[in-house]
Amino acid sequence: MSEISDTRALSKPQRSSMLLKWSWRELWHGQLWPVAVALTLIIACVFALAALVVRVEKIMVDQGRSMIAADLVFRSADPIEPSLLAQAQSLGLTVSQQTRFGTMAFSDEQMQLVSVKAVDSRFPLRGELVLEGDRRHNQVRPGELWLSERLFSLLAVQPGDLVSIGDAALTVSGRIVTEPELSFNPFSQMPAVLIHASDLAQTGAIQPGSRVRFRAYFSGEDAQLEQLQQAITLAPGQRWISETTQGRTGEMIERARQYLSLTLFLVILMATATLVLTCLHYSATRVAAVAMMKSLGASKRWLWRWLTRQLAMLFSIAAVAGLSLGWLLEFLLRLPLADVLPDPLPEMGLMPLAASLLVALLVAVPGIGISLLRLVDAPAISVIQQQVAWPKNRRGYALIVLPVAAALLWFGSNKFMWLTLAGLAALLVVLAALGLGLVALLKRGAWRSAVRLALSRISRSPLASGAQLAALTSSLMLLAVIWLLRTDLLADWQQTLPADAPNVFALNISPQERERYLDVLDNSGVARSDSYPVIRGRLTAINQQDMLAVSREERDESLRRELNLTWRESIPVHNTLLEGTWATQSGVSVESGIAERLGIALGDELTFHVNSQPFSATVTSLREVEWRNMRPNFYFIFTPDVMAALPATWLLSFRIEAEQSALVNRLGRDFPTVTLLDLRIMATRIQAILQQVSLSLSVLAALGVSSGLLLVLTLLRLSLSQREQEIQLYRTLGASRKRISDTVWSEYGIMALLAGVMAAAGAEVVMASLMIWGFELPVQGHSMLWLVLPLLSLMLVVVIIRSMIRKLLQPLKG
């Protein structure tokens, strides 16, 4: 330290060079290198995770937009206003239009109800349209008529034959191989026909009163798309469609986004805790060195110059190492996804680089700054009296404003994130108090001496022990939450389209053909659902209250249209009875979602109209229905006596494997009046999205869990390091190495078990909160968590103590 007093005799460049050498030596030979490692890991993790999040989100958005054929879609029951199209073009957006209607298609031999889509040459703006005729095309041109695969057998035509659409006789150009705009709703689909918009007028199919739907497709920058949406006031019958509003697929994408953001946030949180703990440990170990420098004449200004240079070098080294490691980590994270990621990959841009450096800086400023402010204020007398107390520099806590302000800007009004933050903060306090309470209860038991000493030490410093327990518990809890969220989301998404889900619906089966149709499926070894009678009707009154008295715009969506009604003697196997009993007479079972929206309860009387004929039934049960399983599902299921006398057609769904494709054409040919809705293309596309998202979330969850494990290991390592002086004191007072070793093992074993059990309880609470208010999914318990977390905690304790106990006891030799 004598060099400090000699610096006054040196020139300014010499002093600067010497200060740089001291800073470099302190960086690598002092205790600051763990801080550099923690900062490197923060930068690497944030860079890798942010890069993967950017890529995965772009892929999900692209997939979602491919399914609506554009970046944004405007749907209307009336023709699209020219002013809307003009405004979109003025914003630099690419525009395409579509007119869609149902009509009959006639060939020389057959006729079939079809869904005609009249599109322009720019359609689709997103996604893939593959048309196969004399050669492959991806756009519809004037004079062309393209049919879906099934229509060739239903209409008994080949390319080159004439098919009449309204007044127009058009020549079949070929078949539709692939098209976007797929839907989960089988009742909304008919075999598709594509024509060019310029041929629409000659069909004469659109007349006053015709049921026609108009769509405008837009593609461009998100800012311009949002500006267009804000400029348009929607009228009745109009709505915007985006990748996040497209039914269940939109929900999946939105929930995946929430998970990506939450995982990134939790990883940053855990990495920050690792850095702060490391900085506190560094400050505690350097008090004597700073006091010595002060006793030799070092001023605060000189100390700050010395520390600032160390921090500048530290951040530079951490930035280079972290970005390099982050790039490698991002590459490794993509390896499991190589088969499902698109080629070329979406660009990650500069966001991951900027985010990783900015996060590290925002974390480091208060995390390191508060500790160093206290360190620089250490009095010179600390050299000879290490336990001396000195006034705390509370100005340093103002540095916390920086990350808090950044969080406010980042989260904004995101209630999901604020809910997570508030919940974690409250849990930290509760877990600390709960841990100390459990220790107090354990002290009442009869234990051997090592355990009694361990419990005594934990309870002797309640504040420190409570903070340590809370930190350890919250670390285990966070890594559990990351993994459980991933597991529960994937389990929910598997219900979106299970691997064995039906992929073909058969509708309008006449009662006379029903048994023969079922026999064909059964004899062909096809997995099918039960068959259901279907009648279209409206719900008109609840307990004699007219539900159609309010304006159409104010009604629930289920009251604006006819619903599919059915009857059964028993509850469908894929429905769950929530309340009531399954009745056999004059009853109706109601799906729980519509019951909640319309305020329907057990015992209510519901009135329906079918073909202007009214009838009533009493609500006898409420059911939970999973609408995404591709099975026939219904809002209302009646007892047979209520509706069996009404004329109905039958419906069922079944699964066609790749080797059974010919059966679909055979069914279409042998049962021409039955409407077949082939959803195999849609199923393949949804399965691809599910596979991409599932693998991506698994990789992200693994990274989040790794960050949590790093934090737990850091906590345990630093805690044991702080025990060195205490262990020396025990040895001085005559304690044997075995007694000390047994006490350490007992103390950390107790803390590990307590932390594991409390982390399991905390994770269940957090998961329940996130499921109810964040992801809006059913709450479920996780029994294995109560075993896995305590065992994991104990394993980590064993690893850390085994690696450090010998070193801690080594000075006691002799």
Q: What is the mean pLDDT of residues 437-454?
A: 75
Domain ranges of the chain: 1-67+250-411, 70-242, 413-500+679-814, 504-678
686: nearest Cα among 643, 630, 616: 630
Which amino acid is residue 478, in one-letter code? L
What does the alpha-carbon distance between residue 681 and residue 181 come to, in Å, rounded to a whole number?
Answer: 11
What does the alpha-carbon distance between residue 463 and residue 471 come to, in Å, rounded to a whole number?
Answer: 12
Q: What is the mean pLDDT of residues 715-730?
A: 67
Burial 555-592 (b: 16+ CB within 10 A, else e): eeebbeeebbbbbbeeebeebeeeebebbeeebbbbbb
Q: What is the mean pLDDT of residues 623-636?
A: 82
Q: Which residue has the higher pLDDT, 704 or 748?
A: 748
- Give percent of the chain above pLDDT 90: 5
User: Which residues make Cβ contacts (< 8 Å) with residue 493, sequence separation at least 6?
Assistant: 252, 690, 693, 694
681: nearest Cα among 66, 174, 157, 254: 66
> Omega into 344 within 30° of 0, i.e. cis?
yes
Instruction: Please report the pLDDT score of residue 143 as a whole number.
Output: 85
What does the alpha-carbon distance between residue 285 and residue 281 come to, in Å, rounded to a whole number?
Answer: 6
Q: Which residue has the higher pLDDT, 642 or 11?
A: 642
Q: What is the tens place of the pLDDT at every residue in 379-430?
A: 766 655 555 555 566 666 777 777 777 777 776 666 666 766 776 777 767 7
At 813, the pLDDT band (50, 70, 90 cuts) reads very low
495: nearest Cα among 234, 244, 686, 707: 686
What does the alpha-carbon distance between residue 400 and residue 387 come to, in Å, rounded to a whole number?
Answer: 28
At 716, the pLDDT band (50, 70, 90 cuts) reads low
- Percentages helix, strand, coil for the chain (3-state, rounded to 5) are 55, 15, 25
Q: What is the mean pLDDT of residues 598-621?
A: 88
Q: What is the tens place of the pLDDT at every residue in 656-699?
A: 887 777 888 788 778 877 777 776 766 665 666 556 666 666 66
The answer, yes or no, to whether residue 12 has pLDDT greater than 60, is no
The answer, yes or no, to whether residue 589 has pLDDT greater than 90, is yes
User: Which residues make Cβ contacts (< 8 Å) with residue 236, sequence separation at least 6?
Assistant: 552, 553
Q: What is the mean pLDDT of residues 463-484?
A: 72
Q: What is the mean pLDDT of residues 736-765?
A: 80
Residue 141: Cβ within 10 Å count: 11
At 4, the pLDDT band (50, 70, 90 cuts) reads very low
User: Which residues make Cβ contacts (< 8 Å) with residue 171, sequence separation at least 6?
Assistant: 143, 145, 160, 161, 162
What does the alpha-carbon distance between residue 423 and residue 772 come to, in Å, rounded to a whole number?
Answer: 13
- pTM for this prediction: 0.58
Q: What is the tens place of the pLDDT at every residue in 510-548?
A: 888 889 999 998 888 888 888 899 888 888 888 888 877
What does the alpha-carbon distance between residue 155 and residue 664 come to, in Å, rounded to a whole number?
Answer: 14
Helix (H) or strand (E) holding 114: strand 111-119
Which sign, positive or negative, has the C-alpha torsion 518, 522, 526, 529? positive
Cβ atoms of 256 and 60 within 8 Å: the answer is: yes
SS3 state at 577: strand
CA distances from 191 to 114, 171, 312 (A): 5, 17, 67
The answer, yes or no, to whether residue 154 has pLDDT greater than 70, is yes
Q: What is the mean pLDDT of residues 11-39?
A: 61
Locate 317 and state its tokens.
Answer: 């080294």
Locate 779 and state its tokens.
Answer: 């709450």
Question: 130-132 and 136-137: which strand pairing?
Answer: antiparallel
175: nearest Cα among 160, 186, 196: 160
CA dihedral 704, 710, 714, 715 (to 10 degrees): 40
